Structure 1
Amino acid sequence: MDVLVVGGGPTGMTLAGDLARAGRDVTVLERWPSINPSSRAFATMARTLEVLDARGLADELLATSGRTEAVNLFGGGRLDLSHLDSRYRFAMITPQAKVDQALGRYAQDQGARIVRGAEVTALTQDATSVTVTTGDGRTWQAAYVVGADGAHSTVRGLLGAEFPGRTVLSSVVLADVRLARGPSDGGLTVGSQPDSFAFLAPYGDGWFRSMTWDRNHQVPDTEPIADGEVQRVLTRGLGRDLGVEEISWQSRFHCDERQVRDYRHGRVFLAGDAAHVHSPVGGQGMNTGIQDAANLAWKLDAVLGGANEAVLDTYQSERHPIGRRVLRQSGLMMRAVVLHPRPARWLRDRLAPRVLAVPAVRDLVAGSFAGTGLRYGRGSLVGTRAAQVRTPVFTLVRPRRTPPLDTPVAQQERTGPGPALLVRPDGYIAWSGDLTDNGPRGWQAALARWTHA
Structure 2
Amino acid sequence: MRVLIIGAGPTGLTLAGDLAEAGVEVTILERRPPETANATRAFGVHARTLEQLDIRGLADQLPGQKVRAVSLFDKVRLDLSKLPTRFNYLLITPQYEVEKVLRARAERLGAEIVHGEEVTGLVQTADTVTVTSTTRTWEAQYVVGTDGVHSKVRDLLGLPFPGKAVVKSIMLADVKLTTPPPDVLAVNAVGDGFAFVAPFGDGWYRVFAWDRRKQTDDRAPLELDEIREVTRRALGTDMGMHDPRWMSRFHSDERQVPAYRVGRVFLAGDAAHCHSPAGGQGMNTGIQDAANLGWKLAAVLNGHAEPELLDTYQQERHPVGRSVLRSSGAIIRLAMISSRLGRRLRGTLSLLLLGNEKIAAKAAGRISGIAIHYGDKKRAADVPLSTGRLFEALRGGRFVLISNEDRADTPAFVDVVKPVDPVTEPVLVRPDGYVTTWDDVRCR
| TM-score class, shorter | over 0.9
Structure 2 SS opposite 1:347: helix
Correspondence 1:9-20 to 2 at 5 A:
9-20=9-20
Q: Offset at 1:142?
A: 0.3
Q: Distance in 1 between matches of 2:77 and 2:12?
A: 34
Q: Offset at 1:74?
A: 2.4
**1:168-219 deviation line (CA, Å, top 9, x unaligned):** 11100122222222222x2433211100101122334543222100001111
Q: Distance in 2 between matches of 1:201 and 1:404?
A: 49
Q: Distance in 1 between matches of 2:423 and 2:184?
A: 35
Q: Distance in 2 between matches of 1:84 and 1:283?
A: 17
Residue 121 of structure 2 is matched in structure 1 by 122
Q: Offset at 1:384?
A: 3.0
Residue 163 of structure 2 is matched in structure 1 by 165
- Aligned residues, how many? 428
Correspondence 1:391-430 to 2 at 5 A:
391=394, 392-398=397-403, 402-406=404-408, 407=410, 408=412, 409-416=414-421, 418-419=423-424, 420-430=426-436
Unaligned runs of 5+ in 2: 384-389
Residue 386 of structure 2 is matched in structure 1 by none
Residue 434 of structure 1 is matched in structure 2 by none
The counterpart of 2:189, out of the listed 167, 189, 192, is 192
Q: Quick check: 1:187–1:201 contact (8 Å CA) kept in 2? A: yes
Q: Distance in 2 between matches of 1:45 and 1:266?
A: 32
Q: Distance in 2 between matches of 1:23 and 1:245?
A: 49
**1:282-334 deviation line (CA, Å, top 9, x unaligned):** 10000000000000011011111222111000000000000000000000000
Correspondence 1:325-344 to 2 at 5 A:
325-344=323-342
Q: Offset at 1:58?
A: 1.1
Q: Distance in 1 between matches of 2:432 and 2:200?
A: 29
> TM-score by structure 1 length?
0.91
Q: Distance in 2 between matches of 1:43 and 1:371?
A: 13
**1:147-175 deviation line (CA, Å, top 9, x unaligned):** 00000000000000000001111100122
Correspondence 1:208-287 to 2 at 5 A:
208-287=205-284
Structure 2 SS opposite 1:228: helix
Structure 2 SS opposite 1:332: helix
Residue 105 of structure 2 is matched in structure 1 by 106
Classify 1:418/1:247 alpha carbon distance in 2 versus 1 (closer, same or farther; 3 Å). Answer: farther
Classify 1:395/1:38 alpha carbon distance in 2 versus 1 (closer, same or farther; 3 Å). Answer: same
Structure 1 SS opposite 2:5: strand
Query: Over aligned residues, Cα RMSD in angstroms?
Result: 1.5
Residue 90 of structure 1 is matched in structure 2 by 89
Residue 58 of structure 1 is matched in structure 2 by 59
Q: Quick check: 1:129–1:267 contact (8 Å CA) kept in 2? A: yes
Unaligned runs of 5+ in 1: 432-444
The counterpart of 2:308, out of the listed 307, 310, 319, is 310
Identity within the alignment, %: 50
Q: Quick check: 1:67–1:92 contact (8 Å CA) kept in 2? A: yes
Which is worse superposed, 406-415 or 369-378?
406-415
Q: Distance in 2 between matches of 1:170 and 1:102?
A: 33
Structure 1 SS opposite 2:416: strand
Q: Offset at 1:245?
A: 3.4
**1:327-346 deviation line (CA, Å, top 9, x unaligned):** 00000000011111222211
Q: Distance in 2 between matches of 1:225 and 1:451?
A: 55
**1:29-57 deviation line (CA, Å, top 9, x unaligned):** 00001233211100000110111111121
> TM-score by structure 2 length?
0.93
Structure 2 SS opposite 1:120: coil
